[in-house]
Amino acid sequence: MIIEKALPEDAEEIYAIYSSLKGSPGCTWDDEYPTLDFVRNDIEKRRSLYKLTEYGKIIAAAYLGEFEETERPECFDKSIKRLGEFSRVGVRREYHRKGYAERLLRFLLKEAANLGYEGLALLVGTENLGAVALYEKIGFRRVGDGVMYDTHWFFYEKRI
């Protein structure tokens, strides 16, 4: 198993993973988000998309970068000056519930500390119970909830 930053040639395979998850229970993604252009931007401009591969096949991908919300929800700890975020976490459907997302996110927790983040935040759809359980298992705590992008979210945070 290898975890590293995604390359431009990985964009279509990662997008295919994301697309295959649309419509899954708890998944908030649709045809407008995330797009292939979004994936390419994460890889080429932001350089913040990571992939987990095994036997040469991309199994999972996740974004780790600056928290980008224009308005930081009030429930997030204001004492955390450099706040990162996890987003666009996706695992091939046939590899769900086998620990791949947890391995990728635990790696990214260490990477976030190496990058100088003081804490991490994320939004997770209130119906995505598997993701909620995973985030809580790796030490995130729910700090609130609210509606953004026409979706009801739980807001999670972790100081690192």
pLDDT digits (tens, 9 = 90+) for 20-44: 999 998 899 999 999 999 999 999 9
Q: Which of 131, 114, 113, 130 is nearest to 122 (CA)?
A: 131
Instruction: Write out pLDDT tens, residues 127-159.
Output: 999 999 999 999 999 999 999 888 899 999 999
* pLDDT tier at 95, thresholds 50, 70, 90: very high
pLDDT of residue 153: 94
Give me Rg for the CA atoms of the chain: 15
How far apart (Å, rounded) are the C-alpha atoms in residues 30 and 17? 13
User: Residue 135, by phi and psi: left (phi above 0), alpha (psi -120 to 50) or beta?
Assistant: alpha
Question: Whole-angstrom Cα distance, residue 147 to residue 53?
Answer: 34
Name the fold adopted by 2-159. Answer: Aminopeptidase (3.40.630)
The domain locations on the chain are 2-159
pLDDT number for residue 69: 64
Distance CA 135, CA 25 (A): 17
What pTM did the predictor assign? 0.93
